[in-house]
A = this chain, B = another copy of it.
């Protein structure tokens, strides 16, 4: 049972600390959290603390950052498999048109529960109807970066102008401690230059991030080039839309020139390997090349309609092995880089390096207790832990999950609400949506 009143401070004693600090140090030690932040990390912390946890059987790892998803699609898992992107979107858009705030919130709660149980403590979302997602984030204690989808008014099913909807969403939620509202132009295929620039201006004015799909498929690139004479990233550059605080999802079909423009403008990329492979987009996000060019790259699961899981650990494994395969180079994207994508690089992408992504004093207490005795973590040798996290750990190895110092998962049990109630609501939503 969760305690009625959570402790004001907790000391994790004797853990294997996978700090993800600048030196990427991994060592045995103590970590203390209080009032939502990490206060001390060291070999032996003596600060007075209300709750002491024997963490000797655990690795302490920064919470994982899912840099691209559509979490409210939970009930649509498996609804549109084994189709090309055209058939996939046709099926999804037909269902999307039927959705209401209740089933959106039920789906979001389902997805957030799955993410928390998989060690995700922050996620970046792109969808319409983000109020429902925000309510689920508020209920379940995760950290949500919620992008309201903006597209041309004649192409949307939203009532009202999407950019106005985005503005009022931002105004409604900008004071929530764990919710960061933002603007999300859906993609160049549904946004004119004026729509895109209006979205960008709104983000600038409100000081929010800008999140968008970019160069996911060949078709998108070729059609945009046929229409405008420019590949998507170069077109965005030409209209003056690129800039810092922007996260492009997918980034599969990028030329060296486009990578150069993203890098110079401080645009980051969320790599989504499972989704890209399942939809057979054909190419592979050039993670290695982008990192070499100075582009910040994070990792996203995309939605359960195209992944079909929200497991960041599974995504990390795939990101690591796919890049090696793509480059014919077994040394490409090594284990440490894989873990970086899901932690420190994800934090950079969100502009939150100062308080997310690593276990260091002063940062937010978003962290995981990973069971060193779980079959997928054996042998639990300190020199192999980063490898195990990157290549073998399963979600079941994640024993406990903290966000903002609050324990949301303990011994694989979701604490804020009973999973069974969340599940039943999600099944009901699926019942009305699958038709």
Q: Which residues of A contact B (CB under 8 A)?
A: 74-75, 77-79, 81-85, 88, 110, 113-114, 117, 274, 276-282, 284, 304, 307-309, 311, 314, 317-318, 320-322, 324-325, 327-332, 334-335, 373, 375-376, 378-381, 383-384, 387-388, 391-392, 394-396, 412, 419-420, 423, 426-427, 430-431, 434
Centre residue among A74, A78, A331, A427 by max chain B CB count within 10 A: A78
Q: How many Å from the CB of A246 to the closest CB on chain B?
A: 27
In-complex Cβ contact of A117 among B84, B317, B375 (8 A):
B375
Provide the bound-state CA to CA distance between A176 and B333, in Å: 45
The answer for the CA separation of A11 and B419 in the assembled complex, in Å, is 29
Please report the C-alpha to C-alpha distance between residue A423 and residue B376 in the assembled complex, in whole angstroms: 11
With most chain B CB atoms within 10 A of its CB, the pick from A314, A373, A431 is A314
B81–A379 CB distance below 8 A = no
With A and B bound together, what is the CA distance between A330 and B280 in angstroms?
5
Within the assembled complex, what's the spacing in Å between the Cα atoms of A282 and B77? 31
Q: Is the CB–CB distance between B78 and A384 below 8 Å? A: yes
**4 cross-chain pairs, A with B, having the tightest CB-CB distances, nearest first:** A78-B384, A379-B430, A277-B321, A78-B387
Cβ B334 vs Cβ A82 within 8 A: yes
From B74, B309, B391, give the contact of A78 (CB < 8 A): B391
The residues of B that contact A330 with a CB separation of less than 8 Å are 82-85, 88, 278-280
Find out whether the CB atom of A380 lies under 8 angstroms from the CB atom of B325.
no
Q: Tell me how far the C-beta of A28 lies from the nearest C-beta in chain B, rounded to whole angstroms.
A: 16
Counting every copy of the chain, the complex holds: 2
Of all chain B residues, the one with the shortest Cβ separation from A282 is: B328
Chain B residues with CB under 8 Å of A379's CB are: 75, 77-78, 426-427, 430-431, 434
CB distance from A363 to the nearest CB of B (A): 27
Task: Describe A's contact surface by its main secondary structure.
Answer: helix
Kindly provide the distance from the CB of A278 to the nearest chain B CB, expressed in whole angstroms.
5
A278 touches B331 (CB 8 A): no
Give Cα distance in the complex from A392 to B317, angstroms. 15
Within the complex, the shortest CB–CB distance from A209 to chain B, in Å, comes to 28
A277, B387: Cβ atoms under 8 Å? Answer: no
By a CB distance below 8 angstroms, the chain B residues around A373 are 420, 423
* Most chain B CB atoms below 10 A, which of A85, A332, A423: A423
Looking at the assembled complex, report how far the CB atom of A275 sits from the nearest CB atom of chain B, in whole angstroms: 9
Which of the residues B88, B325, B376 comes within 8 Å of A282, measured between beta carbons?
B325
Of A332, A335, A394, most buried by chain B (CB within 10 Å of CB) is A394
Check A74 against B394 for contact (C-beta < 8 Å): no
Residues of B within 8 A of A423 (CB): 373, 375, 378
Chain B residue numbers with a CB within 8 Å of A396 are: 394-396, 412
How far is it, in angstroms, between the C-alpha of A419 and the C-alpha of B78 when the chains are bound?
A: 34
CB–CB A394/B311 < 8 A: yes
Bound Cα distance from A373 to B373, whole angstroms: 25
Partner of A278, one of B85, B328, B391: B391
Q: How far is the CA of A427 from the CA of B387 in the complex (A)?
A: 16
Q: Which of B308, B328, B394 contacts A280 (CB 8 A)?
A: B328
Contact B314 A81 (CB under 8 A): no
Given that A77-B384, A114-B375, A375-B110 are contacting pairs, would A329 and B280 also be in contact in the complex, using a CB cutoff of 8 Å?
A: yes
State whether B427 touches A392 (Cβ < 8 A): no
In whole Å, how far is A435's beta carbon from the nearest beta carbon of chain B? 11
